[in-house]
Amino acid sequence: MGTRTCMNASCGATSATEWKRGWELRSGGFANLCDKCGSAYEKLIFCDMFHLNESGWRECNSCGKRLHCGCIASKSSLELLDSGGIECLNCVKNAKPSSGMLRCGLWFICALLGHGLPHQSRARPRLHESGWV
């Protein structure tokens, strides 16, 4: 095996007591992180520790937690909202039960599948407005 290097640019350690798996790589596989950076990544504080001075920080729409957008290390810990803005993974999880229909951007597929009622009832008043009189 070749020499391993911690993939955290601001760390770059070549030795570690334990190598950890980080974010998913575009090429497949996972980033290589030393024990220190790896455990920061696991605790979702990687960006708080290493990217504080970088740009791209935004706040979760629901809880105000600061999240590092456009960063591969935070990619899986935030979700882009349909209406703009972002949400942290905790809030996304908490909102799950009621969000199924709200989050459905592919309404026409829902309609095809027969659960498009909310979409239809939203469209109906419009018909009346346009007037049959």
Binding site for Zn ion (CB under 5 A): 6, 8, 11, 13, 34, 37, 47, 51, 60, 62-63, 65, 68, 71, 73, 88, 91
Tell me if 69 sits within 8 A of 58, measured CB to CB.
yes
CA distance 102 to 115: 12
Q: 25: which DSSP letter?
A: P
C-beta closer to Zn ion: residue 35 or 107: 35
Length of the chain counted residue by residue: 133
Shortest Å, Cβ 38 to Zn ion: 7
Shortest Å, Cβ 55 to Zn ion: 10
Q: Please give the torsion angle defined by the CA atoms of residues 75, 59, 48 and 57, in that order, rounded to the nearest 10 degrees.
A: 70
Shortest Å, Cβ 85 to Zn ion: 11
C-beta closer to Zn ion: residue 45 or 63: 63
C-beta closer to Zn ion: residue 31 or 37: 37
Burial class (CB in 10 A: 0-12, 13-18, 19+), 79: middle
- Residue 97 dihedral angles phi and psi, to the nearest 5°: -50, -40
Beta bridge partners of 67: 58
C-beta closer to Zn ion: residue 66 or 115: 66
Shortest Å, Cβ 131 to Zn ion: 45
